Chains A and B, each alone.
Chain A
Amino acid sequence: MHALVPLPTVVPLLIAAALAGANAVLPRPIVDAVAIACAAAVTALCALLAAHSAGVTVYWFGGFHPRGGVAIGISFAVDRVGAGMATLAAVLVCAALVYSARYFEEVGSQFAALMLVFLAGMTGFCLTGDLFNMFVFFELMSVAAYALTAYKIEEAGPLQGAINFAITNSIGSFAMLTGIALLYGRTGALNMAQIGTALGGHPVDGLVTVGLLLIMGGLLVKAAIVPLHFWLADAHAVAPVPVCVLFSGVMVELALYGLARVYWTVFSTPLASHAAGVRGILVGLGVLTALVGAVMCFAQRHLKRLLAFSTISHSGTFLIGLGLLTPLGLTASGEYLLEHGLLKAAMFMAAGILLHRFGSVDEYELRGRGRGGDWGVRAAGAVLALGGLGLAALPPFGTFAGKSALEDAVTEVPGYGWVIAVLVLASAITAGAILRATGRVFLGLGPRLPRHQEQLTVLSEQPETLRPHSRTPAVMSTPALLLAVGGLLLGLIGPLRHGIAAAATHLTERGVYAAHVLGGAAPATHLRPPALGTRATDYALAAATLVGALTLAAAALRPRWPPRDSRVARGATTATVALRRLHSGCVNDYVAWLVVGLAAIGGALALT
């Protein structure tokens, strides 16, 4: 088992190098087949690791084992959460590669090679037990992601999107590296378990707080948490659809996984007495992100950008669960995140099907064009509608269980009950936006042109165009349908849910992790995984979400939208336009927001 641990990272790197080198020699079907086989093999390996890592499976590179609790070597330390996230990444890379076999007309083997490097970065990030190694894999996946965003380098959009993405995320990475350097200066360790142990005995001081701020800042930029989120929508709007599948489905969520890992293995003991303050900051950021993302999502007409803001909103929701700092909160976020990954990936694929068929992802241009299409287009419509309802976590779907657990987790912590209202509101707005778009495109509902043309022309996006096709290949619609079905049904599998609860609880036990990695005795007491169940109030909240979503979608599809008559509507429109103007597309502004955001989080941390 131990010998398999580095393979999910090593194999895709080697295959990527071979594919990139053989660009001129290999015909495209062979390149695609090799890349898909590689991603499938990594999926199997990660699933195997997840199944067999009941505790923590540790692999020391070069056989540099720790002596007396001091680790000189670099380790991969795999537990079920890490292996599970790596499996999600591998599944989505596999699906995206299958999808892109027909999505692109002309593509060199560099695309497949970059996708595999991206996969290697993500699996390494999930499996590593070393903080600096985590940074390196974080950068590896980031650089592959920048290159993939700029893949269509002939157009202005991808260039701008890649610049915004690369500059903001690089600054985030440097912040993270600075934080790691400060922690190394304090503890002389890079192994996460060892840093946690070394910091554990002392009260937290300014240096450790700054280290936490910088590492957290880097991860929050990648997780697209407001006000560090601006890059995400730009990158998603212009990146090729198979790449968006990975960005929204797993890359953003991986940053939250990284935050959970670093918090619990490194900072949980020294910060134990300040946990309430950290909780307040993280949940506050999550609430802000969920709401800003939802409002911006509703304001979009470019489908990929709409889905991108929905991802921001959901990222905030996951941060709320994580930020509660309880095993139940982490369980709920993990479960919801997994289902969101599959559903959002499927929805991006559905948007890609529309782009492939009609050469546009603009809601108004596509109005009614999805009506009476062949089964490929109908599949896209079904995926978008079901995905929208599924992400709102309505009862027949598996996501309801995860969302209910999140609501329970919020009520479990005293003083945070009001967050439930935010969860319902954000879900209703994002689902309403997706239902509105689906209704307009596939049922031909709503007006032909936005009424507030004069306000929207300033801020509208260029539609992404590709030569239209007359039919949708099955390799594009099948992965979308399979992922959507998976996302809707996973939450109905009881053993999987209990497995996630046990794995999430295990992640929060710092002592057990440190004992596995560094040797020595594990603490005798083990936390029990939280009980999962649904209550009557959860059904009521789901009903409220559904009513809210349908009302918003119906209101937006009325002939007179947005209404000018009432003062409330006028105020809401003005506020939305003001919020949209902040998303200026200018990287200077984004970096300024990043600095202000980090300073604000730092100020809040200093006060706790």
Chain B
Amino acid sequence: MSLPYLVAAWLLLVGLYGIVSSHNLIHMVVCLSIVQSSTYVLLLSIGYRSGAAAPIFADIPVGSRAVDPVVQALTLTDVVVEATVVALLLAVAVQAHKRFGTLDPAELNPLRG
């Protein structure tokens, strides 16, 4: 039962490693979305009940065992948030490539000290 939690932790760590070691903005943004994927896995596994149905009480009797719909709503909200952040960052990356011909954050570097 602890497998999903280990997957979430693994996604978090591997995503962070990717960001720290990245030399390409597109790669870095994808790594950021991997970090966020760990929150999806974590949220969904917190709400999971083994042997339970989807929480749609139209075709299952009221009172039967169902997974937690709250975390699913949180995950959906989280997906929307991620879409916004990733879209914005990709737009910035495209602009950086268009203007300066580089995607390496280390080369796009007027701010120091």
Binding site for B on A (CB under 8 A): 132, 136, 139, 143, 146-147, 150, 153-154, 156-157, 159-164, 166-167, 170-171, 173-174, 177-178, 181-182, 184-185, 190, 233-234, 237-238, 299-300, 458-462, 580-581, 583-588, 591-592, 595
Contact = CB atoms under 8 A, between A and B. Distances in A.
Interface in B57-113: 70-71, 74, 77-78, 81, 84-85, 88-89, 92-93, 95-96, 99-100, 105-106, 108-113
B110 A586 contact: no
B71 A181 contact: yes
B50 to A, nearest CB: 15
A595 B20 contact: yes
Given A143-B84, A167-B19, A588-B20, A581 B106 contact: no
Contact of B112 (A139, A162, A166, A585): A585
B109 to A, nearest CB: 5
Contacts of A458: 112-113
B26 to A, nearest CB: 12
Contact of B74 (A132, A160, A461): A132
Given A167-B19, A181-B74, A157 B105 contact: no
Given A184-B46, A591-B19, A581 B36 contact: no
B11 to A, nearest CB: 11
> Residue among B19, B36, B96, B106 with the most chain A CB within 10 A?
B19
Given A166-B85, A174-B35, A588 B95 contact: no
A460 B110 CA distance: 8
A146 B43 CA distance: 26
B42 A181 contact: yes
9 contacts: A132-B74, A132-B77, A143-B81, A157-B110, A163-B92, A163-B93, A461-B111, A461-B113, A595-B20
A163 B106 CA distance: 11
B71 A136 contact: no
A174 B110 contact: no
A299 B112 CA distance: 12
B96 to A, nearest CB: 5
A174 B36 contact: yes
Interface in B12-45: 12, 16, 19-22, 25, 28, 32, 35-36, 38-39, 42-43
A28 to B, nearest CB: 24
> Residue among A146, A147, A160 with the most chain B CB within 10 A?
A160
Nearest to A153: B95
A182 B78 CA distance: 15
B21 to A, nearest CB: 7
Contacts of B19: 167, 171, 587-588, 591
B89 A459 contact: no
A394 B39 CA distance: 47
